[in-house]
Amino acid sequence: MFSNDRNIETIGELVEVVKHYVGLQKEYLKLDLIEKVVRLVTVLSLTFVLAMTLLLALIYVSFAVAYALSNVMGMVGAFFCVAAFYVLIFLVLFLFRHQLIERPVVRFLAGLLME
């Protein structure tokens, strides 16, 4: 009743269209993944470069502050004071690492990967 040559051709065309659609979806997913990986690598690279530049500037500023304080505290005391300041910053970052580091990184990665 329903099986004639036209129906068989239509089913064959439908199968070809579905195969083509699946292939296009596969390509789309590949391109989407590549875009996200490239964005992630770009952000990581930029963060690394900026962090290293900031670190170099921080080293020079630390020496400048230590030498400026050396007139008041002596050389050893000035360097100790600068070191104590960095230990204090480390402790604050360590105690609040979830709020200051982990949550923003998780939000960024989730936003990037869930787009």
Give residue 1's identity as a one-letter amino acid code. Answer: M
Cβ-contact 68, 60 below 8 angstroms: no
Written as tens digits, the pLDDT of the chain (115 aa) is: 556 667 777 888 888 999 999 999 999 999 988 998 898 899 899 999 999 999 999 999 999 999 999 999 999 999 999 999 999 999 999 999 999 889 998 898 888 777 7
Strand (E) or helix (H) holding 76: helix 75-95
pTM listed for this prediction: 0.67
